[in-house]
């Protein structure tokens, strides 16, 4: 049957009342197993599909968590999405993924409103601070968590890494190898994370008594092509850096490609340090030294916070920051001032 049958037709075919058919399909209230089986068989035969949005308007749960992504594309977003999906499904929720460059863009507001009502709660991945939809979530008190966001204080939970401290650790690793002329490739401003990583870079240099030189600070927009272009500008300097710290792994890959294109070696001529530890970091040549995000733990906390709000806990302004792990591989090695015996890790 091409046309979706009404609930009353399902109830008639199953030999039960409409309210019993509704309970069987919704999974609420008491229905005998025999009656439930007849209802589900009739619904399948008649091609009945319940209106989930109407059910949500009645206060039913959809068991859906929405993952709203600003401009899906980077490899780390894929890893975060996978971790959150696994955790949500582990505890009985399905996932709906919505991607948009901006959620407050023309024509996007009605879609966001519909999807937010369809889902029990939301996780916003790397949200853009300039997107007006973030304020909508706060004002409407939608059960939501912001994932990897440090641009400003918000009235919902935020799950992120300790960006500033992790960046400092990354640069201290390079300083410990004897590097003194260390460049930084920044990402974009949207989530506020790049700014925190830049502060960590400056913290490490300042603590070591090294100058912070604007000529060694470039922008790569968190993409591999941007990292390549930023590294090319650094390689055009009269005095080259001996190490580059990129604010994510993809820009680090671009920097390595740019260095190799000039006939230079990594780490023999210039060391390169990334940030995130996406799976390809261990498969590149050379393998990438980087900072590892504890994505499974972060995903579990983000989903847990959303579920608590779905179950009635009020939204609260709190930052849940996770430490990162230094992963030393083959892209970092001794700098020109390194003491004898210092060597790169395998």
For residue 251, count CB atoms less than 10 angstroms from its CB and return exposed for 0-12, middle for 13-18, buried for 19 or more.
buried
Same domain, 289 and 299: no
pTM assigned to the model:
0.83
Distance in Å from the first CA to the final CA of the chain: 63
Structural domain including 13 reads 7-50
Residue 333 located in a structural domain: no
Residue 144 located in a structural domain: yes
Same domain, 286 and 187: yes
Structure tokens belonging to residue 42? 């009739």
Same domain, 119 and 146: yes
For 172, residues 6+ apart whose C-beta sits below 8 A from its C-beta are 204, 207, 208
Domain tally for the chain? 3
pLDDT at 57 over 90: no
pLDDT at 1 over 70: no
Residue 1 located in a structural domain: no
Beta strand extents in the chain (DSSP E only): 64-70, 94-100, 121-125, 144-147, 157-161, 182-186, 217-219, 243-246, 271-273, 290-292, 318-322, 325-327
Same domain, 182 and 272: yes
CATH code, 228: 3.40.50.2300
Q: What pLDDT, on the 0 to 100 scale, is given for residue 23? A: 80
The share of the chain scoring above pLDDT 70, in percent, equals 91
Residue 328 located in a structural domain: no
Query: For all residues of the chain together, what is the average pLDDT?
Result: 91
Same domain, 155 and 184: no
Between CA 206 and CA 335 the distance in angstroms is 18
Same domain, 200 and 264: yes
Same domain, 174 and 280: yes
Q: What pLDDT, on the 0 to 100 scale, is given for residue 7? A: 81
pLDDT at 245 over 50: yes
Same domain, 170 and 150: no
When pLDDT is cut at 50, 70 and 90, the band that residue 198 belongs to is very high
Residue 339 located in a structural domain: no
When pLDDT is cut at 50, 70 and 90, the band that residue 19 belongs to is confident
Same domain, 81 and 177: no
Given a contact cutoff of 8 angstroms between Cβ atoms, the answer to whether 158 and 320 are in contact is yes
pLDDT at 64 over 90: yes
Structure tokens belonging to residue 174? 């390079």
Same domain, 169 and 285: yes
Residue 345 located in a structural domain: no
Same domain, 84 and 206: no
Same domain, 127 and 207: no
pLDDT at 343 over 50: no
Distances, alpha carbon 5 to alpha carbons 10, 44, 134, 137, in Å: 7, 10, 39, 36
Which phi and psi angles does 122 have, rounded to 5°?
A: -130, 150
The predicted model gives 303-330 an average pLDDT of 96
């Amino acid at each position: 049957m091409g046309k979706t049958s009404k609930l009353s037709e399902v109830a008639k075919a199953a030999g039960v009342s409409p309210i019993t058919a509704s309970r069987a399909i919704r999974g609420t209230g008491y229905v005998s197993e025999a009656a439930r089986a007849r209802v589900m068989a009739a619904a399948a035969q008649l091609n009945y599909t319940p209106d989930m949005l109407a059910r949500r308007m009645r206060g039913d749960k959809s068991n859906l968590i929405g993952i709203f992504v600003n401009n899906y594309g980077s490899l780390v977003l894929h890893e975060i999405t996978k971790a959150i999906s696994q955790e949500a499904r582990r505890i009985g929720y399905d996932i709906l993924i919505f991607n948009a460059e901006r959620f407050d863009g023309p024509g996007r507001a009605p879609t966001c409103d519909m999807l937010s009502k369809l889902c029990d709660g939301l996780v916003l991945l790397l949200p853009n601070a300039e997107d007006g939809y973030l304020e909508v979530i706060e004002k409407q008190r939608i059960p939501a968590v912001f994932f990897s966001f440090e641009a400003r204080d918000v009235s919902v939970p935020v799950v992120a890494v300790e960006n500033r401290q992790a960046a400092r650790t990354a640069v201290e690793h390079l300083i410990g190898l004897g590097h003194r002329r260390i460049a930084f490739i920044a990402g974009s401003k949207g989530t506020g994370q790049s700014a925190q990583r830049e502060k960590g870079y400056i913290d490490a240099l300042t603590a070591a008594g090294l100058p912070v030189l604007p000529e060694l600070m470039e922008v790569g927009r968190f993409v591999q092509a941007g990292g390549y272009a930023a590294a090319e500008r650094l390689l055009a300097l009269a005095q080259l850096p001996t190490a580059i710290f990129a604010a994510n792994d993809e820009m680090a890959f671009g920097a390595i490609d740019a260095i190799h294109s000039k006939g230079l070696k990594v780490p023999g001529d210039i060391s390169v340090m990334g940030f995130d530890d996406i799976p390809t970091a261990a498969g590149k040549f050379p393998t990438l030294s980087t900072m590892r995000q504890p994505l499974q733990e972060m995903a579990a906390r983000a989903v847990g916070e959303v579920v608590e709000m779905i179950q009635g806990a009020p939204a609260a302004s709190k930052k849940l920051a996770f430490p990162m792990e230094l992963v030393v591989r083959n892209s970092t090695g001794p700098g020109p001032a390194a003491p004898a015996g210092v060597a790169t890790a395998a």
